[in-house]
Amino acid sequence: MLATLFFIAVTLLFLDFTGTLHAWLGWLAKIQFLPAVLALNVGVVLFLVLLTLGLGRVYCSVICPLGVFQDIVAWFGKKVKKNRYAYSPAKSWLRYGMLALFVIALIAGIGSFVALLAPYSSYGRIASNLFAPLYQWGNNLLAYFAERADSYTFYRTEVWLKSLPTFIIAALTFVILAILAWKNGRTYCNTVCPVGTILGVLARYSWLKPVIDTNKCVNCKLCARNCKAACIDIKNHRIDYTRCVACMDCIGKCHKEAITYAHPAKKTAPAGQTPSGAQTNNARRTFLTATAMAVSAAALKAQEKKVDGGLAVIEDKKIPNRATRIVPPGATSIRNFAQHCTACQLCVSVCPNGVLRPSTDLQNLMQPEMSYERGYCRPECVKCSEVCPAGAIRPITLADKSATQIGHAVWVRENCVPLTDGQPCGNCARHCPAGAITMIPSEPGNPDSLQIPAINTERCIGCGACENLCPARPFSAIYVEGCEMHREI
């Protein structure tokens, strides 16, 4: 039950385009294993290690959204065919090979490969690319009916494809995981997932784990045929604890009470008696999940118009060819951002201005970057820094943001409206929140000539207001180049 609550809560973090839920549920993203490691969140990592050493891979069965997603698909698979699983030997060469590749990619800074294997981030991309559009369309439908009832409880939000490559990867991940979970349960967790492999090594030494009582076992194989981790070798009365995810399905299916959740050295009670520490299957699950939630909580504490005055269609802006990509304030540098970001898309989901979107560059594939065709990075918004669980975007204040230069504006003379159309403009200077743009005469010595922008790059913070609000189409006459290293101004 609590695994379902965890799953729903994490999913809502990616669906909530208002960003309000993060004040209450943001800690669920911060207790995910890989983001906590990258953020150097020692308290969370230590908690998850101790949790695994004490109770087994409870993280995989309760906290990890990708694991719970596979369990949901497997549950539907059981409705079609019961007792569908069978024991299979561990594919250790594959598990540890994938872990080695993952660690090498992490050290080498190959962010796209790291993001592809990170379990929390994989689910985040599924939720933000596949589930979020459905959620937003549903919201817009409610807003449509609410408007006609003179109610503004709901408001419309724009549904748009942020990145085609990321969408394709998310869709393929969804299909592959669904097929594997439908047919074989936790195959992905025990063959590919690097977090599952790491926690599996620790789970081998867990204090409490499912234990088979050979005196009671009648070799009916019900436990093995319902083990979605395929880790129960009933022939030899052995359980591979590196693959066991502590779901307790085997205990619930055993009619002889031959499997108990206990310390292996503990003696079992005589036949027909309930062991002193044993409870019903539901009680065991409640204990484990309630413990995980309690300790976790204790450890952490609109849309732009498309017409000009309703008369002429405005041509969409195109992305300029930036020499250096732009990463959000709080990232400190492009290198720091690339090293810590797992491409979970949580910051993309909560960005209210449509500025963040997944990169299509192969080296940084799926990692968010900033672009200003749909909006600009408003000085009063720090939502991305509030929700990042991996330390790629560190928490900052509004004052910090206004004093941080993430890029600088560049003027493109041949696109500027006063020079191409002979009409006065000055939109960039009027809307620059840093006062970094001044309008000067286009003809030196002639104060009556049309004015063009002059940029003070020392004052520019790279927010993109000038680029976004420039009326030139399809390319703005002024755009932002990113800074490799952010600096205070």
Q: What is the pLDDT of residues 73-117, one digit of tens each?
A: 999 988 888 888 999 999 999 999 999 999 999 988 888 899 999
CA dist 352 and 137 (Å) reads 16
Selected residue with higher pLDDT from 151 and 167: 167
Name 262's bridge partners: 209
CA dist 52 and 238 (Å) reads 20
Could you count the other beta carbons within 10 Å of the beta carbon of residue 71?
23
Q: Which of 388, 381, 303 is nearest to 344 (CA)?
A: 388
Over residues 301-315, the mean pLDDT reads: 48
Residue whose entry in the numeric block shows the structure tokens 């004490």: 54
Which pTM does this prediction carry?
A: 0.84
Structure tokens at 445: 């010595």
The pLDDT of residue 153 is above 50:
yes
The pLDDT of residue 241 is above 90:
yes
Over residues 61-68, the mean pLDDT reads: 95
What percent of the chain has a predicted confidence (pLDDT) above 70? 90
Instruction: Enumerate residues 6+ apart whose C-beta is below 8 A from 297.
Output: 27
Bond preceding residue 424 cis, omega within 30 of 0? no
Could you count the other beta carbons within 10 Å of the beta carbon of residue 42?
10
Q: What are the strands, taking DSSP E only, across 166-223? A: 209-212
CA dist 245 and 60 (Å) reads 6
Structure tokens at 205: 């030494």
Is the alpha carbon torsion for 181, 184, 186, 187 positive or negative? negative
Selected residue with higher pLDDT from 8 and 291: 8
The pLDDT value given to residue 268:
45
User: Do β-strands 478-488 and 404-411 pair in parallel, antiparallel, or remain unpaired?
Assistant: antiparallel
Rg (Cα) of the chain, in Å, rounded?
A: 27
Q: Which of 321, 463, 462 is nearest to 379 (CA)?
A: 463
The pLDDT value given to residue 81:
83
The pLDDT value given to residue 19:
77
What is the distance, to the nearest Å, from the Cα of residue 96 to the centroid of all Cα atoms in its chain?
Answer: 24
Residue count (the chain): 489
Selected residue with higher pLDDT from 317 and 480: 480
CA dist 170 and 101 (Å) reads 21
Give the H or E element holding residue 211: strand 209-212
Structure tokens at 130: 């596949």
The pLDDT value given to residue 138:
94
Helices 2-15 & 281-299 angle (0-180, nearest 10): 40
The pLDDT of residue 266 is above 80:
no
The pLDDT of residue 293 is above 50:
yes
Q: Which of 330, 436, 337, 433 is nearest to 376 (CA)?
A: 433
How confident is residue 299, by pLDDT bands cut at 50, 70 and 90?
Answer: very low
Three-state secondary structure call for residue 393 = coil
The pLDDT value given to residue 307:
46
User: Which range (3-12, 145-154, 246-255, 391-400) has the least confidence?
Assistant: 145-154
The pLDDT of residue 333 is above 80:
yes
CA dist 223 and 259 (Å) reads 9
